[in-house]
């Protein structure tokens, strides 16, 4: 269960109040074409709390980020970074009513939009990361910006679990300035993650894919005391295969992490945790949807070829390793599922997880997008996370600043010193 120190949004009297809602609306956009949203899963996941607040008469002011805009000031970041305008438009379509949009965050446009809200109205302020102070490592800069944000609201609700691992102004500093509560997404996510980390029912099978092992080695290390099996797939598998001395051709590879992979592999063996790697792979001559491709043994990818999917024997193997599971955590696709020719491995994993009779958690990000893209009903899974990197850091045992802020004095889930913001690594937005 969530920490008793995290007040629920249901405990707040929101009627007629201005509620600043920190949501996670960091959706993928087609930046090579029209800029359209390619997967609105995170918007849909945020709808229940937005609707709950609006239906209870709150004046809802949504803060959210999109991508990692770069620049020295608001103007520079706004010129090159993605805007939340299409997100606000899509949110309005899903809510079935107009959603106001402010072209700045704490400037005159935001002030005018907030002042014009009536009971039950919803507004979205522009990408909060356009403001350099949002992500600053300078406590004073963040605090000053948080005070500007707090002036817009009477209450604060944190419902963006995907951002709670960031020591950012809208996540960490702002809750201290207003009466606050955790939204349902955050509370549900914590409840599920606690089930995964506190005596999960076995067999407990972890499936990890995606591009880089560096993003997930900490998760593997922390779960070695809990998991019965860990299946490694996707781009990160090639570093594991290289660590065994296999040739990986042009496949994605983190050569500098091979010693870490070897250490984790040895520790898994010492603990009796089964670490399962691909036995065959689909490889392609180039990274393209129509590339020539073939199946090869995982023990040797030819020079000039790169791995793009799990092979047919690996799909069967992984399904067999999931068949008796009672608890599953899956994070990361098994191949380039965006290309139909290389989606079979990810589909096989998704379908095997969906058949599990027990707690199944799809770890957000690309895995959740894959489930939707492949047309597998989300109801087939126990929980589809919106957490991304935040969920991974929780599973590593790290302290998450956003949960600390919402929990009063509870440093969930670990006891480590509260970190400053990391350099927004990899795919952990």
pLDDT in tens, 337-374: 999 999 999 999 999 999 999 999 998 668 888 898 89
Give the span between the Cα atoms of 81 and 305, in whole angstroms: 34
Q: Out of 18, 22, 42, 398, which one is annotated catalytic?
A: 42
Assigned token pair, 399: 């302290």
Give the span between the Cα atoms of 328 and 203, in whole angstroms: 9
Assess whether 42 carries a catalytic annotation: yes
Q: Please report the pLDDT score of residue 96 as a whole number.
A: 96
Has residue 17 got a pLDDT over 90? yes
Q: Out of 158, 249, 389, 402, which one is annotated catalytic?
A: 389
Q: What is the dihedral of CA 322, 220, 395, 256, to 10 degrees?
A: -130
Q: Is residue 360 helix, strand or coil?
A: strand
Query: Comparing 12 with 388, which gets the higher pLDDT?
Result: 12
| 386 and 53 Cβ atoms separated by less than 8 Å | no
Q: Please report the pLDDT score of residue 364 as a whole number.
A: 67
Q: What angle do CA 323, 326, 330 make, to 5 degrees?
A: 75
* Interval 182-192 mean pLDDT: 94
| 75 and 34 Cβ atoms separated by less than 8 Å | no
Q: Out of 212, 229, 315, 321, which one is annotated catalytic?
A: 212
How far apart, in Å, are the Cα atoms of 135 and each of 19, 28, 101, 171, 335? 22, 20, 22, 10, 32
> What order do you get walking across the sheet with 280-284 strand by strand?
293-297, 280-284, 306-310
Q: Please report the pLDDT score of residue 31 as a whole number.
A: 65
Q: Please report the pLDDT score of residue 272 as a whole number.
A: 96
Pairing of strands 204-208, 327-331: parallel
Assess whether 389 carries a catalytic annotation: yes
Has residue 98 got a pLDDT over 60? yes
Q: Is the dihedral of CA 128, 139, 419, 152 positive or negative?
A: negative
State the chain's mean pLDDT as an integer.
Answer: 91
- Residue 338 gets which letter from DSSP? T
Q: Please report the pLDDT score of residue 214 as a whole number.
A: 85
Give the span between the Cα atoms of 241 and 238, in whole angstroms: 5
Q: Is residue 112 helix, strand or coil?
A: helix
- What confidence category does residue 201 fall into, taking pLDDT thresholds of 50, 70 and 90? very high
Q: Out of 160, 365, 387, 388, which one is annotated catalytic?
A: 365
State the DSSP H helix or E strand holding residue 221, giving kind and residue range, or none if neither: helix 217-223
Query: Comparing 259 with 29, which gets the higher pLDDT?
Result: 259
Q: What is the dihedral of CA 407, 408, 411, 416, to 10 degrees?
A: 140
Has residue 400 got a pLDDT over 90? yes
Q: What angle do CA 412, 414, 419 make, to 5 degrees?
A: 85
Lowest mean pLDDT among 37-46, 146-155, 162-171, 352-361: 37-46
In 10-81, beta strands by DSSP E: 18-22, 59-63
Phi and psi at residue 44, in whole multiples of 5°? -60, -40
Lowest mean pLDDT among 51-60, 145-154, 234-243, 399-408: 399-408
How far apart, in Å, are the Cα atoms of 225 and each of 196, 198, 221, 389? 12, 11, 8, 21
Q: How many CA atoms lie within 13 A of 128 on its CB side?
A: 27
Q: Please report the pLDDT score of residue 80 as a whole number.
A: 84
pTM for the full model? 0.85
């Amino acid at each position: 269960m969530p920490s008793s120190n995290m007040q629920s949004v249901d405990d707040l009297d929101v009627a007629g109040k201005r509620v600043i809602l920190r949501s996670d609306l960091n959706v993928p956009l087609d930046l090579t074409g029209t800029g359209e949203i390619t997967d609105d899963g995170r918007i849909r996941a945020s709808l229940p709390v937005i609707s709950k607040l609006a239906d209870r008469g709150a004046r809802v002011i949504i803060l959210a980020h999109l991508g990692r805009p770069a620049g020295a000031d608001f103007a520079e970041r706004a010129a090159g970074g993605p805007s939340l305008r299409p997100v606000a438009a899509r949110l309005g379509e899903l809510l079935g009513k107009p959603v106001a949009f402010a072209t700045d965050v704490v400037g005159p446009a935001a002030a005018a939009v907030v002042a014009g809200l009536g009971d039950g109205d919803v507004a979205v302020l522009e990408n909060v990361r356009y403001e350099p102070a949002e992500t600053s490592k300078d406590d004073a800069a963040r605090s000053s910006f948080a005070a500007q944000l707090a002036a817009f609201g009477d209450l604060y609700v944190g419902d963006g679990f995907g951002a709670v691992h960031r020591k950012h102004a809208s996540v960490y500093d702002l809750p201290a300035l207003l009466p606050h509560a955790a939204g349902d997404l955050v509370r549900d996510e914590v409840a599920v993650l606690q089930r995964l980390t506190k005596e999960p029912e076995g067999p407990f099978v972890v499936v990890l894919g995606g591009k880089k092992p560096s993003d997930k080695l900490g998760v593997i290390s922390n779960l070695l005391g809990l998991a019965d099996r860990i299946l490694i797939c996707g781009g990160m598998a090639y570093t594991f295969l290289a660590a065994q001395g296999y040739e990986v051709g042009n496949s994605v590879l983190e050569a500098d992490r091979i010693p870490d992979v070897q250490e984790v592999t040895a520790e898994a063996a010492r603990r009796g945790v089964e670490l399962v790697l691909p036995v065959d792979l689909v490889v392609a001559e180039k990274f393209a949807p129509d590339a020539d491709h073939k199946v090869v043994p995982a023990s040797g990818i030819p020079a000039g070829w790169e791995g793009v999917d799990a092979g047919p024997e690996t799909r069967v193997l992984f399904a067999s390793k999931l068949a008796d599971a009672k608890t599953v955590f899956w994070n990361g696709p098994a191949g380039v599922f965006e290309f139909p020719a290389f989606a079979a491995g990810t589909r096989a994993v998704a379908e095997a997880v969906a058949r599990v009779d027990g707690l199944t958690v799809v770890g957000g990000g690309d895995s959740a997008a894959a489930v939707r893209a492949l047309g597998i009903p989300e109801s087939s899974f126990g929980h589809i996370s919106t957490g991304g990197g935040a969920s991974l850091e929780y599973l590593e045992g790290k302290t998450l600043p956003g949960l600390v802020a919402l929990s009063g004095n509870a440093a969930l889930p670990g006891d480590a010193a509260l970190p400053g913001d990391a350099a927004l690594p990899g795919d952990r937005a």
